[in-house]
Amino acid sequence: MQPIHRRFLVLAMLAIALGSCGLGRDIRGSDHGALLPALRMVVNLRDDEPGGRSHSVTEFEIDAAGADGDFANAGIKAGEYRLAEGGVAMRFGRRIRDRVQFVGITGMGLNRFDLSDSMVDDEETELGLRLGAEARVEIKSWMSGHARVLTFLRPFDLLSTQAEVALVFGNPNELGLLVGYKVWRFVDESSSFAGVDEVDLKVDGLFIGMEVRF
């Protein structure tokens, strides 16, 4: 093989290898002990009269949540973030003896993520599908508890999951104060930030908010 052909072949193979590897960086981090506020409104659209131990329920939900602060990687501050998410959804499920309720959640929402570090200062807003489930139990006439998981999904590359456990203080059918613990995981495998391939952020801490029911 002629030297010029050999050099051309080596350069071509190097270009293919570099193109397949990608030149962007990954941003990973966590924020422990964050404050995660929320506001939620639930409208009862259908509540069948119980014919036995359980009956069906249909509800409409508007939900908004947020978090912001500093994130760290290996214990070292790596940057600042702000997460905000809101949407609308239908809730379908069953209520058992008017004390326990299980619902599935499906709807649409908006997710906004702001990122600032030594190389990036930008934000991205996405429209996606929301899927989740919630279990609730009435403990007292003025207090109930719930466990809830809600995932925001942009098919194939973005996943934002909120998992919470909380107590609700107040009239269960009017206004309540939410207090509990939440974990929020944000993963974007195809980030629009310049020079960034993937973002993986985990936030957890005190969850506090208001819930209005009609």
Mean pLDDT of 76-80: 86
pLDDT at 19: 42
Rounded CA-CA distance 167/70 in Å is 27
Sketch out the chain's domains with CATH numbers: 25-213 (2.40.128)
CA atoms 212, 89, 106, 69: torsion sign: negative
Rounded CA-CA distance 207/33 in Å is 10
Q: Which residues, other chains included, contact 170 with Cβ-Cβ below 8 Å and sequence gap of 6+?
A: 142, 176, 177
CB 133 within 8 A of CB 149: yes
Rounded CA-CA distance 44/35 in Å is 29
pTM as predicted = 0.82
Other beta carbons within 10 angstroms of residue 96's beta carbon come to: 15
Give SS3 for 16.
helix
Least-confidence region, from 5-14, 26-35, 95-104, 187-196 = 5-14
Total residue length of the chain: 214
pLDDT at 24: 64
pLDDT at 177: 95
